[in-house]
Amino acid sequence: MAIAPALDLKEEILRLKKERNAVILAHNYQVGPIQDIADYVGDSLGLAYRAQETDADVIAFCGVHFMAETAKILNPEKTVVLPDKDAGCSLEQACPADKLAAYLEEHKEKNYYVIAYINCSAGVKALCDVICTSGNAPRIVNQAPADRPILFVPDANLGAWVMEQTGRKMDLWQGSCYVHVEFTQESIQKIKDEYPDAVVVAHPECTTAVRLLADEVCSTEKMIHFCQKTPAQNIIVVTESGMLHRIKKEVPEKNLIPGPTDHCACADCRYMKMNTLEKLHACLEKLEPQVELPEDVRAKAEISLVRMLEQSK
């Protein structure tokens, strides 16, 4: 059914949400209209907790595929739909489960304690000991057994930041986020030079050279708290562009410096931007695409995910 005016589309989504007893969870990088209609908007950690807590029958997950998969791992009996099943993630793609399994087999003698950043497939989650997010990574690494070497997958930049934070040495899988590695030391320095009184907040998926220019390095949810607390009026936000909508809404009194397009401090994630209100409406109407997982993989992935949620409290 084609629904023309945006207002009708929103009303239709809300009607279907009620009819399906659904909850709409959205990541901070989603387009503004999706954030505005969601029941909860947050980072990967907050979204995992919300998915664990919900008593809705249907979870409509507006984010990328691994995030919807996380909701399904925690809720095998619920229907989990996502607006676009092709919304992937370069980090997930950088660490296929079969490659990780082969690596662990090849390095069996190391007896690795494997920590996986949540930006990975259920197959990778099933192979590791514990999950972490950008919101709790140092905390999770600090709780790893002291007598075992750590293999951290798949984000080498986040891993490098966590090593600095914890002082714990880790072997790093060489994956990266294609969006965050595009920011360069030069491009951020140029914006800083134009706004010398501005503070910089950056996501830990950025390279070390960019992180070194930041006043704060944190998860997307913690960026909100930083923007609220900083006495600075001008803030340079180095992450995906959807974050600006959330910050402008929650901290309207602050001035966000996007920078001219040739050295913008924010960039689009093409996967996050695949979701639209139209696709959200369609997935609630048809209850597809749904996330489906083989039960053995799901059950193993649940162990590492629940361990994270417990260690993160």
Q: Which residues of the chain form contacts with ligand SF4 (CB under 6 A)?
A: 64, 89-91, 119, 177-179, 205, 240, 269, 271-272
CB of 238 to ligand 13P, least distance (A): 11
Is there a contact between 245 and 35 (Cβ–Cβ < 8 Å)? yes
* Helix/strand/coil for 268: coil
Report whether 152 contacts 238 (CB < 8 A).
Answer: no
Which residues contact ligand 13P (rule: CB under 6 A)? 28, 43-44, 119, 133-135, 177, 203, 205, 219-220, 240
Q: How far is the CB of 84 from ligand SF4 (least distance, A)?
A: 13
What does 178 interact with, of ligand 13P, ligand SF4, none (CB < 5 to 8 A by kind)?
Answer: ligand SF4
Beta strands in 246-286 (DSSP E): 255-256, 266-267
Shortest approach of ligand SF4 to residue 177 CB, angstroms?
3
Q: At what angle do helices 65-74 and 295-311 cross, to 10 degrees?
A: 90
- Token look-up 């597809």 returns 288
Nearer to ligand 13P, 128 or 202 (CB): 202
Hunting for tokens 């239709």 — which residue is that?
12
Query: With respect to ligand 13P, which residue has the nearer C-beta, 75 or 219?
Result: 219
What's the closest the beta carbon of residue 168 comes to ligand SF4, in angstroms?
23
β-sheet bridge partners, residue 52? none
Q: Which does 87 bind (CB under 5 to 8 A by kind): ligand SF4, ligand 13P, none?
A: none
Which is closer to ligand SF4, CB of 113 or CB of 157?
157
90: nearest Cα among 201, 187, 182 = 182
Shortest Å distance, C-beta 180 to ligand SF4: 6
Contact of 73 with 306, CB cutoff 8 Å? no
